[in-house]
Structure 1
Amino acid sequence: MTSTTATAPTLEVRALSKRYGARAAVDALSFSCSPGTVTGFLGPNGAGKSTTLRILTGLAEADEGMALIGGRRYRALEHPARTVGVMLDARALHGGRTGIETLRLTARTLGMPRDRAEEVLETVGLEQAATKRVGGYSYGMRQRLGIGVALMGDPSVLVLDEPANGLDPEGIRWMRRLLRSFADAGGIVLLSSHQLREVEATVDRLVVISEGRLVREGPLEELTAVTGTRVAALDQAALRRALDAHGIAFELRAGGELAVSLAPEDMGRLALREQLVLTSLGAGAGTGLEEVFFALTGHEEPSADEPAPAL
């Protein structure tokens, strides 16, 4: 499949805010995605992910701030769908058309060659279902077709909401390879997902939000890397007060331990100086994405039944 991803623009969200009545769905949110990256956009239900993606793709207006692709809003792009491929809800595909009709109509709408539809159909692995009506597709097949529609304009940016939903293990592996090759060709992928294990196996960067605000952004390896020291004390409140008093960062870990940004020996010296009785002390271990998500947002792994935005 041909690609223009080598010239991918930067994706930027700058101080974005959006309110619905008294509720702030997005609150001064800022982050960026560079060419060559697959970024996981994570947050608990109601965190503002769908609202952010809708503003980014021109389906909603921000109250303040902006979402830009190559320094321009989506609607100001010369050929929006040929710059940004979007899949926010594969269930919105017309059930009365066949798979190939859906892609040919998309190709004609975007001014792409007719044979682009056959090319994309092969890319998403739906050749055998080309003449089957979309209403008879499984959820996983609709997801593949939705990704195909997003790829139709040969974009340099992909914005996908829950792309792994409904895919079987083979389909998930296919999607993972597709997104990785897209990014390796110089493209940008921004994907929102509740499937944390699949995100961890697919992305190289994370943007984590909660209550509409950014709580952490950075490379996956950095966010799940070794974290200084694991420590717990007989008096946990006193331990936290001591760390706060010395300006030492810490995060709560499973079992009530704290992950502290100190070497174990330095933590031991601090405990001695503050007369703290420690009940555990050891080198920090790398953490999985689930644990990082819980520590950053205070939520358990979210369910996959958050309603997707309607197109």
Structure 2
Amino acid sequence: MTSQTTSTAARGSVALEVRGVSKSYGGRTVVDDLSFTCQPGSVTGFLGPNGAGKSTTLRILTGLAEADAGQALVGGSPYRSLENPARTIGVMLDARALHGGRTGLETLRLTARTLGMPASRADEVLEMVGLADAGLKRVGGYSYGMRQRLGIGVALIGDPSVLMLDEPANGLDPEGIRWMRRLLRSFADAGGTVLLSSHQLLEVQATVDRLVVIAQGCLVREGTLDELTGEAGTRVGVLDPAALRAALDKHGIAYEHRSGDQLEVSLAPEDMGRLALREQLVLTSLGATDRGGLEEVFFTLTGQSEPTAAAAGGADAPASEPAATAS
């Protein structure tokens, strides 16, 4: 299989914007006043523990669910207001939903026809995603990795300016992961906007320029990969650990338990000192710690003490975050 990754055209400048979005299901807040932006020319990683609200946010961005408050915009407009959405934003939320009875080529040709694209676009994309040799094979006989490639092909068929992909590396072998990385990089370098949701932290670190980290439906941190992984946290000890934990919880500051009664806090030492003064906490130790790689950053920012099943293997959203169905 070949692995052509070049863009067919220069991309327009289309940003993704989430502005104060909130969403509740059954009285439970899943997304809480969430705001972030994905700019053209960049690959943004969308991270959070299982149940953090990532899937709900993606569904709101793509018109599959409506926000209770706030706006989710594609190029300044709601998804449902776009004249031909798939020509602006290519989406892959679940490659397993592809029709198993059609061939890969039939899948892409049908999509191209629906979007008003020439039939030749299907052959072009089939080559682009490395499935030219499997185009006449039925999708039901594809491996999971091949379905992922085809799902990305469906997202690309309209030659969009934005790509939104949920767990695109699942099922891909090492060569496939390298291919996907080059594809997303060339798409962004041509002016495209990429939003990548994934639990595979090492792959995210090797692929993205920017990060949006959420927990319990709220934005925890947004910035470039270098900004987040280059920051230092703070290891702190106090006379009253329970009071420290209560103060951090009150202000929504993530922390991890370390040896003894020490905590590692996602604040700079000077900010931790100010918080201790304001909350009248007596410190016994205070020092900067090197965050290290993305995995360390992720668990510190989201308050996770160890990898969850989702972080390790990309588990599906829990029952409290409903599956993607059109509303």
Q: Same fold (TM over 0.5)?
A: yes
For residue 123 of structure 1, what is the aligned residue in structure 2? Answer: 128
* Distance (Å, rounded) in 2 between the aligned partners of 1:275 and 1:39: 40
Identity, % of aligned pairs?
A: 66
1:309 matched to 2:316: no
Instruction: Indicate if the aligned counterparts of 2:254 and 2:301 stay in contact, CA closer than 8 A.
Output: no
For residue 261 of structure 1, what is the aligned residue in structure 2? Answer: 268
- The amino acid across from 2:127 in the alignment is E
* Distance (Å, rounded) in 2 between the aligned partners of 1:251 and 1:212: 17
For residue 88 of structure 2, what is the aligned residue in structure 1? Answer: 83
1:118-163, Cα deviation, whole Å (9 max, x unpaired): 1100110001111100000000000000000000000000001110
The structure whose Rg is larger is: 1
For residue 97 of structure 2, what is the aligned residue in structure 1? Answer: 92
Q: CA deviation at 1:87?
A: 0.2
For residue 195 of structure 2, what is the aligned residue in structure 1? Answer: 190
Q: CA deviation at 1:4?
A: 4.2
Instruction: Indicate if the aligned counterparts of 1:47 and 1:212 stay in contact, CA closer than 8 A.
Output: yes
* Distance (Å, rounded) in 2 between the aligned partners of 1:52 and 1:4: 29
For residue 109 of structure 2, what is the aligned residue in structure 1? Answer: 104
For residue 35 of structure 2, what is the aligned residue in structure 1? Answer: 30
* DSSP 3-state at the match of 1:40: strand
1:48 matched to 2:53: yes
Q: Which of 227, 233, 237 is the aligned partner of 2:232?
A: 227
Q: Which runs of 5+ in 2 are unaligned?
A: 1-5, 318-322
* Distance (Å, rounded) in 1 between the aligned partners of 2:86 and 2:307: 33
Size of the aligned set, in residue pairs, is 297
Residue range with higher mean Cα deviation, 96-105 or 217-226: 217-226
* Distance (Å, rounded) in 2 between the aligned partners of 1:116 and 1:276: 64
Q: CA deviation at 1:237?
A: 3.7
- The amino acid across from 2:87 in the alignment is R
1:1-23, Cα deviation, whole Å (9 max, x unpaired): 55445312111001111111111
**TM-score by structure 2 length?**
0.82
For residue 18 of structure 1, what is the aligned residue in structure 2? Answer: 23
Q: How has the CA–CA distance of structure 1 residues 140 and 226 changed in structure 2, closer, same or farther, with 3 Å as cutoff?
A: same
Q: CA deviation at 1:232?
A: 4.7
**TM-score by structure 1 length?**
0.86
* DSSP 3-state at the match of 1:7: coil
Q: How has the CA–CA distance of structure 1 residues 131 and 201 changed in structure 2, closer, same or farther, with 3 Å as cutoff?
A: same
For residue 288 of structure 1, what is the aligned residue in structure 2? Answer: 293
For residue 7 of structure 1, what is the aligned residue in structure 2? Answer: 12
- The amino acid across from 1:113 in the alignment is P
* Distance (Å, rounded) in 2 between the aligned partners of 1:90 and 1:164: 11
Q: CA deviation at 1:62?
A: 1.2
Instruction: Indicate if the aligned counterparts of 1:239 and 1:276 stay in contact, CA closer than 8 A.
Output: no
Q: CA deviation at 1:170?
A: 0.7
Q: CA deviation at 1:257?
A: 5.3
* Distance (Å, rounded) in 2 between the aligned partners of 1:35 and 1:124: 22
* Distance (Å, rounded) in 1 between the aligned partners of 2:209 and 2:63: 26
* Distance (Å, rounded) in 2 between the aligned partners of 1:48 and 1:75: 21
The within-5 A match list for 1:193-272 is 193-227=198-232, 231-233=235-237, 235=239, 237=241, 252=256, 255=259, 256=262, 258=264, 261-262=268-269
Instruction: Indicate if the aligned counterparts of 2:87 and 2:159 stay in contact, CA closer than 8 A.
Output: yes
1:28-70, Cα deviation, whole Å (9 max, x unpaired): 1110011111111111111111111011011111111110011
Q: How has the CA–CA distance of structure 1 residues 128 and 70 changed in structure 2, closer, same or farther, with 3 Å as cutoff?
A: same
* DSSP 3-state at the match of 2:112: helix
1:168 matched to 2:178: no
For residue 3 of structure 2, what is the aligned residue in structure 1? Answer: none
Q: CA deviation at 1:258?
A: 3.5
Q: Which runs of 5+ in 1 are unaligned?
A: none
Instruction: Indicate if the aligned counterparts of 1:98 and 1:133 stay in contact, CA closer than 8 A.
Output: yes
* Distance (Å, rounded) in 2 between the aligned partners of 1:141 and 1:147: 10
* Distance (Å, rounded) in 2 between the aligned partners of 1:310 and 1:88: 11
1:263-310, Cα deviation, whole Å (9 max, x unpaired): 8xx99xx9xxx99654x85x6424211111111111233422214635
Q: CA deviation at 1:105?
A: 0.6
Q: CA deviation at 1:261?
A: 2.3
1:158 matched to 2:173: no
